[in-house]
Each structure stands twice: as C-alpha cells, then as structure tokens.
Structure 1
Amino acid sequence: MTINSDPKVHKSEEEWRELLTPEQFHVLRKHGTERAGSSSLNDEHREGTFICAACDNLLFKANAKFESGTGWPSFFQPYSADAITEHKDRSFFMTRIEVRCAKCDGHLGHVFKDGPQPTGLRYCMNGVAMNFTPDEND
C-alpha cells in the first residue's frame, strides 16, 4: 500500500490500459460509472482498508463504510485528508463534486452532503476503482 506522502503516479494511456481491466480503465481513467449493485465491495464488511485499484493509495478505512442503499460502496470520510482530491463536475446538466485518487488522479466517484454523522458526507465510490485489503486479524 502506498503512503499518502509518496509522489504522484504518472502513466501514459497505453500503460494504464495494460495495468487495468477494461472496466477499471473506463471508470478510473475515463470517468465512467459502474452499474449500481454490481460491485462485490458493496457486501464487504470485514475490517481493513479500501485502496485505489490503479496505484494502491490508501482511500478509506472499513470502519468509515456504511450502507447507503445506493448500490455503490459508500463512506463518511476518507482515509486521510490527503488521500483524495475533489473537483467540480458539471456533466449531465448538474453540478456535483467528483472524487479522485490523490496519487494517480483516478476517478473514484462523487461526494454528497447527505451522509451520516460525524461528517454528514457520503462518498459514493465505484467499487471497481478500489481493492480491499483485510486487516491481518481477519
């Protein structure tokens, strides 16, 4: 797993295509969205860490995950303040806040202000954009 202070990951489009599955490439590099309910990470309830599928950056702790009912893995806070970056997304005739991996700029999903406390935020992530690493105890 990458420590969040590591330098940015830069790869060509061809290198990303070789590294990622077609679905991961579509979501992470082309800002796509996986079909709701399609990710096995929706049902992941073990202790551990969710990491970027492209660069292994630490993104979310399992104890920040909650059941949002949206069909996508949802979290109320990132792993750390420098794990992700946020960007205005004005696609589809609306304004949303896009969430990207801070290390590789891979598209992860969006954040909304309708989540649980303590933050009130819902980081609605594409499961295909992440991998899960269980704690060693699990």
Structure 2
Amino acid sequence: MERIIRSEAEWRAQLSPAEYAVLREAATEPPFSGEYVNTTTPGVYVCRACGAELFRSETKFDSHCGWPSFYAPQDTDAVELLPDHSHGMIRTEVRCRRCGSHLGHVFHGEGYPTPTDDRYCINSIALRLVPED
C-alpha cells in the first residue's frame, strides 16, 4: 500500500473543520452523534481522508459505547496501532496505515461475544460507508 503524504494545508483544504479535528488532530466526536453508530447497511467502511478500505460491515457490532465498533479491520495492514498515553490513560490508537489519519482506539479483553474480543472504537466522521450493490 502506497503511503499518502500531504501537507497540513492540503489536509485542511480537503477536510471539513470537524473531519480535520478528528482525522489530523486526534479529536473525538461526541458519543452517539456519529452517522454510523446504528448503521446496519452492508458494505465497506473506508477512510474519509484517503479512501483506504478499513472495516467491513460484517465485523461491526453494537457495543453500546456511542461510536461504531468493529471486532477486526478489513485487513491487518489496513490500520496501524500506536501507544496512546494522552488524557492520563493508556490506550492503543488506531490510525489509517495509508494516510496516517486518526480513526479511534482499540480495546481488548472487554468480554464482548466477538471472535477476537477486540473493540475497534472508531469515530464515524473518520469513515465513509460504501454500500454493497
């Protein structure tokens, strides 16, 4: 996968202020406010910044946390996981491997009845759903 490199000025021109805040500055949209929290439409979720395929609807589940949750990425190379020690917490940040945009965080071992016991807690604004035909 070829990495996309853009200047911050180019990202600002491409993204809305809310998209830029989440994708480039690691902000978080308010819980239960995103367009994909309750979506059940079959399809592929792609990065809103670069269009890379990130998650499939088959791996989406209702975690009642306020953000879309997935138990696995589309492909292990689709995302990169980085330590995040912000806000006095120890978490694992999820970024798009293709463009480096912040997507959300992944949590493990919370006891959800999923094949991986992972919860990729992803901001709706970081995604775009491409419905299946």
Give the alignment's TM-score, normalised by structure 1: 0.93
Q: Aligned partner of 2:119: which letter?
A: R
Q: Give 1:122's aligned amino acid.
A: R
Paired residue type of 1:41: Y
Q: How many residues align?
A: 131
Determine what percentage of the aligned residue pairs are the same residue.
41
Structure 1 residue 46 corresponds to structure 2 residue 41: yes
- For the residue of structure 2 that corresponds to 1:43, the secondary structure is coil
Alpha-carbon distance, 1:73 to partner:
0.3
Q: Could you list the per-position Cα deviations for residues 64-94 of structure 1 after superposition, in whole angstroms to 9, with x for gaps in the alignment? A: 0000101000000000010000000000111
In the alignment, is the contact (CA less than 8 A) between 1:76 and 1:116 conserved in 2?
Answer: no
Query: What residue is the counterpart of 2:119 in the other structure?
Result: 122
What's the C-alpha RMSD, in Å, of the aligned pairs?
0.7
CA–CA separation in structure 2 for the residues paired with 1:128 and 1:116:
26
2:11 is matched with which residue: 8, 13, 16?
16
Deviations 1:87-127 (A, max 9, x none): 00000111100000000000000000124321000000000
Deviant stretches of 4+, over 2 Å? none
What are the Cα deviations for residues 22-58 of structure 1, in whole angstroms up to 9, with x where unaligned? Answer: 1110000001000001111112101100000000000
SS in 2 for 1:40: coil
Structure 2 stretches of 5 or more lacking a match?
Answer: none
- One-letter amino acid of the counterpart of residue 18, structure 2: E
